[in-house]
């Protein structure tokens, strides 16, 4: 029973912290906060790629399905997908 309450309040705290982060991004970047979030995701993936390197063994189906961005090759694929979705978002924004 106690574990359920910890999970419940932990998820509420996680949601509140996420909302505060989005509010801070809106205050700092205005209407371009989605662009800032995309850049932060791409930057994090580039850091993983630099730290771990890109190996041929990283491109396994199981790693890509789990999206383990700790592996350089999966981080490369993830950053490419974030970049494509960011471009599509900007194209539809008009």
Confidence grade of residue 16 (pLDDT, cut at 50, 70, 90):
very high
In this prediction, residue 94 carries a pLDDT of: 65
The answer to whether 86 and 78 are in contact (CB under 8 A) is: no
- The predicted model gives 14-18 an average pLDDT of 92
Q: For the segment 41-79, what is each residue's pLDDT rounded down to a tens digit?
A: 888 888 888 888 888 888 888 888 888 777 888 888 888
Radius of gyration for the chain, computed over Cα atoms and rounded to the nearest angstrom: 17
- The Cα–Cα gap between 18 and 46 comes to 22
């Amino acid at each position: 029973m106690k574990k359920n309450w910890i999970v419940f309040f932990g998820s509420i705290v996680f949601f509140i912290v996420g909302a505060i982060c989005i509010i801070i991004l809106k205050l700092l970047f205005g209407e371009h906060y989605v662009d800032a979030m995309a850049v932060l995701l791409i930057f994090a993936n580039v850091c993983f790629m630099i730290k771990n390197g890109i190996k041929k063994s990283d491109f396994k189906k199981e790693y890509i399905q789990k999206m383990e961005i700790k592996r350089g090759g999966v981080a490369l694929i993830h950053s490419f997908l974030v970049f494509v979705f960011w471009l599509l978002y900007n194209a539809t924004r008009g």
